[in-house]
Every structure is written in C-alpha cells, then in structure tokens.
DNA sequence: CCTTGACCTTCCCACGGGGGAAGGCTTCAC
DNA sequence: GTGAAGCCTTCCCCCGTGGGAAGGTCAAGG
C-alpha cells in the first residue's frame, strides 16, 4: 500500500512517516517503479506502535529504544518496564512544573481586581527584582529550561 | 550598561535578549560608538518582566501582549487578568493531557511482569489496532498535537 | 489515447526558545 | 602598550512536526 493508506491505517500522517524515516527511526520501505513507498501490514503495525508511543509522550529516542525491544523477540520485559517507568517520572516532573506555574498564576490572578483600573499586581509582580515575585509562591519553574536557574 | 550586565541583572541570558530583540518582542536599544547595545535600568525591568513571564509558561505572543499592557499606563487590569486566566486554562489542559499519559503508562506498567520474560503488555498494547489499547484508559492525548485526532 | 485529479516525491520555511561556535571589535585594567 | 575579557554578527543545531511549492505518477473515465 502507498504511504497515504498506510498513514490512515496507522493513525499518523504521511508527513510524519517520511520524517521518521529521514531521521532513521523507521527503516526505508521498498519503492514502486515510480518511486512510491510501499508498506506492508507489518509496517502499519510498526507505524501504529510509533504513533501511539508518541501520543504517550515518548521522545523519538525512547521510541527508537522501544521499537528495538519490540523487534527483539528475546527481550526482557524488565527493559521495557524500565523505559516506561523512567518516562512516567519525566512526565510527572513536567506536570509538577506546570502545576507550580498555575499555582503562581492563580495567586496573582486572585489579587488582581480585574476591572477598569490600571493597577495590577500581576504586572508589578512580574517586574519585581529577583525572586520577590515568586518566592512566596512555588519555586520549581519549567523542567530544565533555564540553565542558570 | 552592556548586554551581559543587563542580562545578569534581569536573570536572562544575553542570547535570549538578542533573540527577543530579533523577533520584535523587545525594542532595539541604543548602541555605543563601538556598536554595543546599551541598556537602561528601565530596560532591565522590561527584561526581567519578559523572563519571568516566560518562566510562567507564557508564549512569546502572550508576553508581547503583556508587555504592551505593561507599557500602557491607562490599561485596564481586567485585560491583564483575562490573559492570565486564559493561560491558566491552557496550562491546565496540558496538565490534564500529561496526567492522562501517566495514567495510561501506569496501567500498562502495572500489568507488565518486569522480569526476564519477553512477553510485555506495554509493547503489545502499543501495537494494537485503533483505540483498543487506550480505550480502557484515558482518551485525552497531548493538547493539540495530533491534527486528525 | 488522453486528460483529469488524486496521490506521490523532494525541498524549504516556520514555530518556541534558545545553545554553541567562528571570527572580529572594544574596552578595561595593568 | 598589551593582553584578556566581553561584546559584536552570523551561521547552523535541537525537537516534532505542519504547511506549502514545484514537479512526477497513477488509475480511472471519456
């Protein structure tokens, strides 16, 4: 089948498939005489695997590792589980960072009149020096974003 | 003061300042005879404002809006609050998406032996057709990542 | 047989939010 | 006067795609 059909069957876009192939995540499929990529039903399985792993937030590298384990019939399930657990930890870190932002924003929004007057603690707090604006709130910023933080 | 000093005072990197200037988020400062950017204490306030807004997860566009409101002394605090509330909603959507992923992963990890045997429900579930693998779990995937979702 | 339209190909640009390096100026302290 | 920072610009890199242009292929209908 052509790339469009395979993409629809796997729940990803043709664009994504070409991208995954270009970065070496997927092996290049055979081509028709006209140069079209030709996919087998097994390929569709692999594509769906990759797409669903992405939906679960795995990075390209992690998906590559999972794909290798998937292809290896003698894998140990412990290896798979370790990757999954590690990913859970990573996701929870992001969740915590986002929740800290929400908490800070909620606090700021609560103290803002929200009417026609110009004075707004959200704005003044954002411009406050150093950590004065966030110290009374929740330190953990974005996960690993700031180098000097 | 030069860019490095201003960056240190505002808690951002010189690189970030140049980047923000290049995309039009910040106005170009005056230059010395040697071409160095010269920043005033007010500029440092603005820089800190932008950096802290980014730490709270605001997008470049949103920071631009907030900066415009910040400069406008006759703004209505309701406008600021609306942006903040909108951002909270957005962040909560991301949190929910991440939590759904974690829940699914937890479920999969729980059913995986995690020993030397090769059979692993994590892998088989990822390759299952359609929504069979996630239907018994939590639908909301990443916020706005998949177009055809 | 030929056209049409859907599909495919490669290539480049964009996003956010910068990191890092190359190669050249300035500026400051000694 | 001179050496070491620090700054300048410019370029290319990362993730994970999405969008679109310019052009080739394929299947079906007239």
CATH code: domain of residue B11: 1.10.1660.10
Asked, for residue B102, whether it belongs to a domain, the answer is: yes
Residue A93 pLDDT greater than 80, yes or no:
yes
The total domain count for chain A is 2
Q: Among all residues of chain A, which has the CA nearest to that of B71?
A: A123
Cβ-defined contact of B76 to A115 (cutoff 8 Å): yes
State the Cα angle at A76 between A71 and A78, rounded to 5°.
120
**Six-digit token string for A115:** 């009417």
Asked, for residue A94, whether it belongs to a domain, the answer is: yes
- C-alpha span between B56 and B79 (Å, rounded): 18
Give percent above pLDDT 90 in chain A: 67
Average pLDDT over residues B59-86: 90
D strand bases under 7 Å from protein CB: 6-10, 15-20, 24-26
pLDDT at B1: 87
Q: Residues 12-51, chain A: which have Cβ within 8 Å of B?
A: 13, 45-46, 48-49
Q: Does A127 touch chain B (CB under 8 A)?
A: yes
Q: Are the CB atoms for A95 and B99 separated by under 8 Å?
A: yes
- Give backbone dihedrals phi and psi of B12, rounded to 5 degrees, phi first: -130, 180
Cβ-defined contact of B57 to A101 (cutoff 8 Å): yes
Q: Which domain holds residue B85?
A: 77-135
Task: Give the residue among A136, A105, A124 at the shortest CA–CA distance from B56.
Answer: A105
């Amino acid at each position: 089948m052509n790339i469009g059909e395979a993409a629809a069957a796997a729940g990803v876009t043709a664009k994504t498939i070409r991208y995954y192939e270009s970065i070496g995540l997927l092996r290049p499929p055979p081509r028709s005489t006209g140069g079209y990529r030709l996919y087998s039903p097994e390929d569709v399985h692999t594509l769906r695997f990759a797409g669903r792993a992405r939906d679960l937030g795995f990075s390209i590298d992690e998906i590559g590792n999972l794909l290798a384990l998937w292809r290896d019939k003698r894998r140990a399930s412990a290896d798979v589980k370790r990757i999954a657990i590690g990913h859970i930890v990573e996701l929870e870190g992001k969740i915590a960072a986002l929740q800290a932002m929400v908490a800070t924003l909620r606090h700021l929004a609560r103290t803002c009149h929200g009417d026609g007057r110009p004075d707004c603690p959200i704005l003044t707090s954002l411009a406050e020096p150093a950590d004065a604006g966030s110290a009374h709130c929740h330190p953990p910023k974005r996960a690993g974003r700031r180098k000097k933080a």
